[in-house]
Structure 1
Amino acid sequence: SIHSVADLKGKTIYASGKGATPEYVLNYILEKNGLQVGTDVTIEWKSEHAECVQALAQDPNAIAMLPQPFVTAAAAKNDKIHSALDLTKEWDAIQANEKNKSSLITGVVVARKDFVEAHPEAVMDFLEKYAASIKYVNENNDEAAKMIESYDIIAAAVAKKALPFCNITYIDGKDMKEKLSGYLSVLNEQNPKSVGGSLPEDDFYYGAN
């Protein structure tokens, strides 16, 4: 059974997202825990999450890297599937020994610079409502789950179980800059093309100066 990243040594992990963020995140976490891909750990890349779920269904000892809510949805259909490691927590654990701190950030708000400069009040109003929305979802899982189902995203029952593990967070200002710039630096080290060839300048981070 898997209780730590170290337990992945000698194992095969099914995953999707080769050449994109999932690959770089997995490589980073494995490497920081002393494991080399191809030597200590084998990664079998699939074209989509559903194929990883299928692999789990076929082999009770299989290991897969899946995002929420796919994990919860898969577990709901197969009681032998369970979550062993939370990659967000594993990422955070690595930061204790890192000079440049970062967070595993998978969702951001992006706006054109000219729009932000032309409509500062609208941007602030949106961010306030965005933060309130996140707070509401985290504090009202039942109601949020029903809304998610009403927009045909996923079933309410799955959403309710998945939401507490989705790490939906609002971060802004200097805190956002530190965590996001550190994360982009990690991606840049893995593959510069993943961040457009070079790291962004300071003015990329809204409200951080």
Structure 2
Amino acid sequence: MKKFLVALVVLAVSFCAFAEGISEVSNNDGVELSGLRIASPSGAPAIALASIAVESPDQYTFIAAETITAEFANATSDFIIAPINAGAKLYKMGKSTYKLGAVVSWGNLFIASQKADFKLEDINGSEIVLFGENTINASVALFALEKNGIIPAKITYLGSAANTQQLLLSDPQAIVMTAEPALTAASNKNPSIVGYSVNSLYGESGFTQAGLFVKAGLDPAVVDAYLGLLKESCNKCETDLESVAEAAVKLEILPNVKVAMNAIPNCAVRYMYAQEAKEQVEATANIDLKQFGGSVPADDFYYGAE
């Protein structure tokens, strides 16, 4: 069970793998998408693609999270789903020519504890343990808490989400930041665990966590067709949850349908065309500009901008 929970934590927040390849797929307008290469992290962001990817599962190869920078630099994939701040930072540095096509993940972070009658106000004057020091996830969580008048006395960082998850399960007094789908799995093991969505504290329907990046030079008709498929896939997370859950399990994004059905609604998968999400991207960037390369993304970072 411990190994199972750790695996879920890795899926949830570490962006530990990428999948690539879609072939013999066409959209409703008849645009052929055969031969496209798609890269996507597993876990919450991959849920956005599940309904598409399940059609060609044999073509998906998972690689390590530390290759995100190389994935952008090598420019071998036609589309990449990745943390928006990572794509923006690399674009600003001239290490990537990929533009943001759409936002698909709006935050899957939770503040959790197994303390009796745990309330967010309990964080005031107490210690909170986060994962991901100097990351946008940690910055957003602390911003959201402060926005609601919640100021911890001490902030501690552990090396990974697996560490905070282990602490959540082992220490009845610990207050930690975790993420879906790991929270669902932990709650199944210990029903006394209570989690509060960082999105509910942040407001604005969540923060711009991950998006689809478009390779420079792609045929606009192909881009539009794929964005259309992606939008349909994201929408199914609300309109056809069971089929998405089944697809996620088949792709080994999530371990079983029970966990998937409970976790997916908390992963904030939602499609928004990049130019329409510019204001939200800038709001997220302004929380911690250094995570975006020191400034909000330039207009030409957004696909379709003139």
TM-score by length of 1: 0.81
Structure 1: how far apart are the matches of 2:242 and 2:212? 25
Q: Is the 2:147–2:201 contact (alpha carbons within 8 Å) kept by the matching residues of 1?
A: no
Q: Determine whether 1:23 maps to 2:138.
A: yes
**Cα distance in structure 1, aligned partners of 2:201 and 2:177:** 13
Shift of 1:35: 4.5
Describe the SS at the equivalent of 1:153: coil
Deviation at 1:41, TM superposition (A): 3.0
State how far apart, in whole Å, the 1-side matches of 2:178 and 2:158 are.
11
1:120 aligns with 2:220: yes
Partner of 1:153: 253
Q: 1:180 aligns with which of 281, 286, 289?
A: 281
Structure 1: which amino acid aligns with 2:287?
V
- For residues 62 and 140 of structure 1, the distance between their equivalents in structure 2, rounded to whole angstroms, comes to 36
Label 1:204 to 1:25 Cα distance change in 2 as closer, same or farther (>3 A).
same
1:13 corresponds to which of 101, 124, 128? 128
Provide, for residues 28-51 of structure 1, a one-character-per-residue CA deviation record: whole Å limited to 9, x for no partner: 123323455xxx432221112222
1:206 maps to amino acid: Y
Tell me which moved more, 167-176 or 12-21. 167-176
5 Å-filtered alignment, 1:4-153, equals: 4=120, 6-36=121-151, 40-83=152-195, 85-92=196-203, 103-112=206-215, 114-115=216-217, 118-153=218-253
More helix by share: 1
Aligned residues between the structures? 189
Deviations 1:111-137 (A, max 9, x none): 23x32xx41111100110000001122
Unaligned runs of 5+ residues in structure 1 are 96-101
SS of the residue aligned with 2:157? strand
Partner Cα distance (2:206, 2:173) in 1: 30
Shift of 1:207: 4.0
**Is the 2:231–2:271 contact (alpha carbons within 8 Å) kept by the matching residues of 1?**
yes
How many angstroms does 1:177 deviate by? 0.9
In the alignment, residue 139 of structure 2 is paired with which amino acid? Y
Q: Which has the higher relative contact order, 1 or 2, with Cα contacts under 8 A spaced 6 or more apart?
A: 2
* Structure 1 letter corresponding to 2:301: F
The one of 165, 170, 173 equivalent to 2:271 is 170
Aligned-partner Cα distance in 2 for 1:91–1:61: 24
Distance 1:170 1:142 in 2: 19
Q: Give the alignment partner of residue 199 of structure 1, picking from 296, 301, 306.
A: 296
Structure 1 Cα separation of the partners of residues 119 and 305 of structure 2: 38
Comparing 27-36 with 123-132, greater Cα deviation is found at 27-36
Where 1:169 maps in the other structure, the secondary structure is strand
The amino acid of 1:86's aligned partner reads S
Q: What is the CA–CA distance in structure 2 between the aligned matches of 1:203 and 1:24, rounded to whole Å?
A: 25
For the 8 Å contact 1:2–1:8, the answer to whether it is kept is: no
Q: Which runs of 5+ in 2 are unaligned?
A: 1-116
Return the structure number with greater strand share: 2
Counterpart residue number, 1:99: none
Identify if the C-alpha distance between structure 1 residues 173 and 106 changes in structure 2 by more than 3 Å, giving closer, same or farther.
closer
* Alpha-carbon distance in structure 1 between the residues aligned to 2:202 and 2:293: 23
Question: Do 2:187 and 2:193's aligned partners in 1 also have CA atoms closer than 8 Å?
Answer: yes
Change (3 A) 1:27 1:133: same
Contact 2:136/2:288 (8 A) holds in 1: yes
CA distance in 2, matches of 1:21, 1:174: 21
